[in-house]
Amino acid sequence: MLSKLGKVPDEVRAVMENSELDAFRCSHVRYRPAWELLWGNISKGSVCVAGDALHPMVPDIGQGGCAALEDGVVLARCLGEALLKNKKQEIKGKGEEGKEEYKRIEMGLNKYARERKWRCIDLTFTAYAVSFIQESEGKIMAFLRNKFFSPILARLLFKKADFDCGKLRSP
Q: Which is nearer to ligand FAD, 24 or 93 (CB)?
A: 24
* Residue whose C-beta lies closest to ligand FAD: 51
Work out how close the CB of 158 gets to ligand FAD at its nearest, in angstroms, rounded to a whole number.
14
**Is 128:156 a contact under the CB 8 Å cutoff?**
no
Least separation in angstroms between CB 157 and ligand FAD = 10
Cα–Cα nearest to 63, from 74, 51, 53, 73: 51
- Beta carbon nearer to ligand FAD, 52 or 101: 52
Which residue, 132 or 143, is less far from ligand FAD as judged by CB?
132
Closest approach of Cβ 58 to ligand FAD, in Å?
9
In the complex, what is the shortest distance from the CB of residue 54 to ligand FAD, in angstroms, rounded to a whole number? 8
**Nearest approach, Cβ of residue 72 and ligand FAD (Å):** 9
| Residue 90 phi, psi dihedral angles, 5° rounding | -60, 140
Question: Of 45 and 65, which CB lies nearer to ligand FAD in the complex structure?
Answer: 65
The per-residue DSSP string of 10-43 comes to HHHHHHHHT--GGG----------HHHHHHS-SE
Residues facing 43 on adjacent strands:
48
- The amino acid present at 38, given as its one-letter code, is L
Return the number of the residue (76 or 144) whose C-beta is nearest ligand FAD.
76
End-to-end CA distance of the chain: 48
Contacting positions for ligand FAD (CB under 6 A):
29, 51-52, 59, 62-66, 68
Calpha distance 136→133 (Å, rounded)? 6
